[in-house]
């Protein structure tokens, strides 16, 4: 609470210093209430902030979901097999540092559709953290756990479902948490590039082009809070599936 008050104070100071070029928290609050007037408006010519938020979240959800569905099995395979690790790891190491935004034009060229290109971009950037963490999880299964499987003659299926997956789950969730964080950061940038859709568009079109810095600030607050909530969900899941030995 004290931290938020301090942030408000600094904000107030900055806006005073810039002669309210940067709107004060109070002015921003007024704009926020205005924006929140009819958040779920969904007309062809104008969409409310809630509608935009949901469209952004939907794209993140689809891209992140598909990315995770690809990344988790590949990561598990990499972690359990050295040969597969040695084949896939160099590819991951080369592609991982590429800025997610660099994938956007590629997606656009391929799909000829900017929402799909955004989803593609989210898909790509959701792969790496999950893949790497899933692989790490499986490769770090303690010998004690493996011994149980060996000593009692666990079948491959039993080993996977009773030892490998439960042990790797917290690691996978760490990967998912990092992935969704990146995806949420990247979607806004992607929507600025693609135009016409989502929160990114709101920031760019209504905020910057519309000359309303307050709207940019409103968008930043909303993006921040939603990002925090997404993070919290995964922290909660991680806690739920981590076990004391």
Partner 1 sequence: MQPSATEKIKTVDEVLEPVLNPPPSIEIENVTVSFKTANGVYTAVKEISLMVKKGEIVSLIGHSGCGKSTLMGTISGMVKQSAGTVKANGMLVTKPGPDRGIVFQNYSLLPWLSVYRNIYEAVDAALKDKPSSFKHELVERNLKMVNLWAHKDKLPGHLSGGMKQRVAIARAFAINPSILLLDEPFGALDALTKSNMHVELLKLWNLDHREKTIVMVTHDIEEAIFLSDRVVVMNDGPAATIKEIVDVPLPRPRNKKTIVHDETYMAIHDKLMNLLIDKFSIDDIK
Q: Are 149 and 163 contacting, i.e. CB atoms less than 8 angstroms apart? A: yes
Report whether 177 contacts 235 (CB < 8 A): yes
Q: Is 155 in the site for partner 1 (CB under 8 A)?
A: yes
162 scored as a contact of partner 1 (CB under 8 A) = yes
Q: Is 147 in the site for partner 1 (CB under 8 A)?
A: yes
148 forms part of the interface with partner 1 (CB under 8 A):
yes
Q: Using CB under 8 A, which residues numbered 166 to 185 contact partner 1? A: 166-167
1 contributes a contact to partner 1 by CB under 8 A = no
Q: What is the closest distance, in whole angstroms, from the C-beta atom of residue 132 to partner 1 in the complex? A: 22
Closest to partner 1 by CB, 5 or 244: 244
CA distances from 192 to 39, 57, 208 (A): 20, 15, 11
Looking at the Cβ atoms of 21 and 152, the one nearer to partner 1 is: 152
Is 243 a binder of partner 1 (CB under 8 A)? yes
User: Under a CB-based contact definition with an 8 Å cutoff, are residues 153 and 120 in contact?
Assistant: no
Among the listed residues 141, 146, 149, the one whose alpha carbon sits nearest the alpha carbon of residue 167: 141
- Concatenated DSSP letters for 206-236? IIIITT-HHHHHHHHHHHHHHHHHHHHHHHH
CB 124 to partner 1: min, Å: 32
Q: Does 140 bind partner 1 (CB under 8 A)?
A: no
152 interacts with partner 1 by CB under 8 A: yes
Dihedral through CA 138, CA 144, CA 149, CA 152, nearest 10? 180
**48 three-state secondary structure:** coil
Q: Which stretch binds partner 1 (CB under 8 A): 7-15, 44-52, 71-79, 141-149?
A: 141-149
Contact flag: residue 244 with partner 1 (CB under 8 A): yes
Interacting residues with partner 1 (CB under 8 A): 144-145, 147-155, 158, 162-163, 166-167, 241, 243-245
């Amino acid at each position: 609470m004290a931290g938020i008050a301090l942030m408000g104070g600094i904000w107030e100071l900055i806006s005073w210093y810039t002669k309210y070029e940067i709107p004060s928290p109070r002015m921003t609050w007024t704009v926020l209430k205005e924006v929140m007037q009819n958040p779920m408006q969904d007309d062809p010519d104008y969409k409310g902030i809630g509608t935009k938020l949901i469209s952004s979240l939907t794209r993140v959800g689809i891209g992140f979901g598909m990315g995770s569905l690809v990344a988790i099995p590949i990561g598990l395979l990499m972690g359990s097999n050295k040969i597969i690790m040695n084949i896939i790891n160099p590819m991951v190491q080369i592609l991982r540092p590429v800025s997610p935004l660099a994938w956007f034009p590629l997606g656009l060229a391929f799909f000829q559709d900017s929402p799909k290109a955004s989803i593609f971009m989210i898909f790509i950037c959701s792969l790496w953290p999950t893949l790497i963490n899933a692989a790490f999880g499986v490769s770090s299964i303690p010998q004690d756990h493996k011994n149980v499987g060996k000593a009692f003659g666990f079948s491959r299926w039993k080993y996977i479902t009773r030892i490998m997956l439960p042990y790797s789950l917290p690691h996978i969730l760490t990967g998912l948490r990092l992935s969704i964080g990146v995806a949420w950061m990247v979607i806004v940038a992607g929507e600025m590039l693609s135009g016409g859709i989502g929160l990114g568009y709101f920031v760019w079109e209504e905020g910057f082009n519309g000359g309303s810095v307050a709207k940019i600030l409103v968008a930043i607050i909303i993006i921040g809070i939603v990002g925090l909530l997404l993070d919290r969900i995964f922290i909660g899941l991680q806690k739920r599936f981590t076990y004391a030995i």
